[in-house]
Amino acid sequence: MLGETTRLILSLLSDGKRYDDVLAEFPHLTLFDLLNSAAEVSDFLNAFPGQAKARAVFRALAEGYGFEAVEARLGVTLFNVQQAAWQALDMDRVPRRRRKPAAKRPRRKRGKRTSRSS
């Protein structure tokens, strides 16, 4: 689960705000908070194998690259960053179920097979 600050930052990013907009609107947040949130999202997305692009975006943001550098480095647009933020928020909302180990799953009972004759 993502932290409260991270969810706030993700919701602002998904609205199209950049880091300097977030810092101007919420003066209690620091650049360190933003970088930590990006790292937290990148780690969170490791559990989802189909999210390589979103994970790369947040990894680059966590390394301190600005939006323009991320856009140039990864060939993404601001829309892709917004989309990655939305995906992370959606995945955080969905409860994840853990599967039981194979030894503890109920086994199907196999009965005798009978052939039908017509």
Over residues 85-117, the pLDDT tens digits come to 888 888 777 655 555 555 555 666 666 666 665
Beta-carbon contacts of 26 under 8 Å, excluding residues fewer than 6 positions away, are 8
Mean pLDDT of the chain: 78
Task: State the pLDDT confidence band at 6, using cuts at 50, 70 and 90.
Answer: confident
Instruction: State how far the alpha carbon of 60 is from the alpha carbons of 35, 67, 84, 108, 116, in Å.
Output: 10, 9, 13, 47, 63
Domain ranges of the chain: 4-95
Query: Contact 31/23 with Cβ under 8 angstroms?
Result: yes
Segment 47-64 shows an average pLDDT of 82
Q: pTM above the 0.85 mark?
A: no
Instruction: State how far the alpha carbon of 26 is from the alpha carbons of 4, 69, 78, in Å.
Output: 14, 23, 20
